[in-house]
Chain A
């Protein structure tokens, strides 16, 4: 087990006043068998009343409206999380598991991913866990990390065709490959030690347990990752979503710090 301290802040600066802004933020660490958050602090500038709830996938969400004119919006959440308490999570809601077996949105297999999967020289009849590890090893070799070459809407298939992308693309392609093996797999958005932005990885359902795999880093998820939300793909669990009236041009700055304490 490790104790991690995290600090996530997202700021949007506008060139003109925003008259109204609605926001939904899914950035509260979940309580799972692997991680337990505590001492969570949330701050919004300018301050506004918000409500807490869950989305359809049981991700924690915080949402509200800011109808005072403002030129800056800042959201900050910090706290401590005990991680590495388990290397898997029991299925918390078996009714939802089957949702993660099906191609959807950005994780629909296309011809290039299918033929890649067919060409993989790994033992496809090995046990599910080894299969998941082997596919991760191969994907990590065959796909390159290269920022600013894909967008939030890039599909697994088109990222794979161009051969490079970021953690979101690694995760999408890996989910698609897991679906081809027949295993349910889901997208995870979260934070990781030493990285200045949010991160993405994948959980695969093996014998009733969700195991985390991080294909970007070729690592099993254990005591460096803080999980914020899950989805069929990235769009199900975007950290922030907002609509505003006015504002002109805007720039968004995200700062993330995750360190080990004690």
Chain B
């Protein structure tokens, strides 16, 4: 009964989402469209014990990734020991020389990690991607839950579901853990950013100030927030939603108009915490993904709890040969691309495309990874009044506070196109709430 009522609430919720301005900006044919991020009312449900297993695996992975980042920007032991080849670090566009020798507060690099997983038809979960730079999306299930509770309160009385509205508390705890003294702020590039809704929502929920670059200033190796009446007050932690290259025109891209000059110099001196730390791109590109299970063994001496999708690195001769032989069964990904761009399926190429691609692969083997196409489980969605199956993934959020924390929910994204495996919101997909059962 209550389940039906929840489904009936879809329209109401989508209307409320629209009214709240829950939108996602996408680029299509080189123009920017702001569109609603369609919500589907059928939740993804994860049993308590299954989530407990995911939680262990996610914590393990994020702890190892943080150790890797610290190692890369200091001793580089994992490279010296031959576990990760030099090429995958120093020729990667994510490696930033400016970050060498800099120690973030408490050695935390990735405070907020968005780990994308899928559940295969074999009932195993596979990690598809780590997002350690500025992962977005937590606000969508938060607000959807809030609105669903409003339109169908009985559902949440009848089902024992972990309350996901505590994300703001976890985020605040993560910010407070590294705050070196002063205000906590959320730095947004502004209202035209694809995720502006999320920035303002998280600021409201955590009690942090929402600021743009012009409201922050650096003086004498300290960061200040300029209040409405012109006073300067010290900032101790910045949850920044601006990418590394635009963060500080004096240290990174000089063309940036949205950054704060010298903010990275303040960070370098340990006088402000930046979350996430700049430089994380070296740990989350698709080439490094291959090495994450090896990192877990290397740094923690443990077997990885969660598996990667079976991945081949054409950089290695053996893998290259495998890729050539099994080309039609594989999905090929350009390591430098993100958001569902630069992904091609061997089986879907024409003869000419395939020949061109093989030539490219031969010349630049380091640029690509190849993966087995995982047959992942469909989730039902309501499409034009009909219940139909669609491909879906799960973005889990792992926060590094005084201890690693996994948010008991997540963003479930689905593809609206029945033939597509690509669920990224930037490719026009929709989202669902993720229910973690409490028993």
Q: Total interface residues on B, using CB and 8 Å? A: 28
Chain A residues touching B, range: 20 to 34
Instruction: Determine whether the beta carbon of A243 is less than 8 Å from that of B91.
Output: no
Instruction: Determine whether the beta carbon of A22 is less than 8 Å from that of B220.
Output: no
- Using CB atoms, name the residue of chain B closest to A103: B91
Q: Which of A63, A65, A95, A236 has the most CB of B within 10 A?
A: A95
Q: Which residues in A have their C-beta under 8 angstroms from that of B43?
A: none
B264–chain A nearest beta-carbon distance, Å: 10
Q: In this assembly, does A114 line the interface, its C-beta being within 8 Å of a C-beta of chain B?
A: no
Which residues of A in the span 61-102 have a Cβ within 8 Å of any Cβ on B?
Answer: 63, 65, 93, 95-96, 98-99, 101-102
Q: In this assembly, does A24 line the interface, its C-beta being within 8 Å of a C-beta of chain B?
A: yes
Cα separation A58 to B102 with both chains bound (whole Å): 11
- Using CB atoms, name the residue of chain A closest to B249: A243
Instruction: Determine whether the beta carbon of B250 is less than 8 Å from that of A53.
Output: no
Q: In this assembly, does B1 line the interface, its C-beta being within 8 Å of a C-beta of chain A?
A: no
Q: In this assembly, does A232 line the interface, its C-beta being within 8 Å of a C-beta of chain B?
A: yes
Q: In this assembly, does B265 line the interface, its C-beta being within 8 Å of a C-beta of chain A?
A: yes
Instruction: Determine whether the beta carbon of A95 is less than 8 Å from that of B265.
Output: no
- Using CB atoms, name the residue of chain A closest to B260: A22
Cα separation A55 to B265 with both chains bound (whole Å): 8
Instruction: Determine whether the beta carbon of B261 is less than 8 Å from that of A243.
Output: yes
The answer to whether A102 and B90 touch (CB under 8 A), given A22-B250, A243-B250, A243-B261, is yes
Binary flags per residue of B12-55, CB closer than 8 Å to A gives 1, else 0: 00000000000000000000000000000000000000000000
What are 29 pairs between A and B in contact, CB < 8 Å?
A: A22-B261, A22-B262, A24-B250, A24-B265, A51-B221, A51-B265, A53-B221, A53-B265, A53-B269, A54-B101, A55-B98, A56-B97, A56-B98, A58-B101, A63-B262, A63-B265, A93-B101, A95-B75, A96-B100, A98-B79, A98-B86, A99-B90, A99-B100, A101-B86, A101-B90, A102-B86, A103-B91, A104-B90, A243-B249
Known A-B contacts: A65-B261, A93-B101, A96-B100. Give 17 more (CB < 8 A): A49-B220, A51-B220, A51-B221, A53-B221, A53-B265, A56-B98, A56-B99, A56-B100, A56-B101, A58-B101, A65-B262, A95-B75, A98-B90, A99-B90, A102-B90, A243-B250, A243-B254
Identify the 4 closest CB pairs spanning chains A and B, nearest first.
A56-B100, A22-B261, A102-B90, A56-B98
B: residues with CB less than 8 A from A are 74-76, 79, 86-87, 90-91, 96-102, 218-221, 249-251, 254, 261-262, 265, 268-269
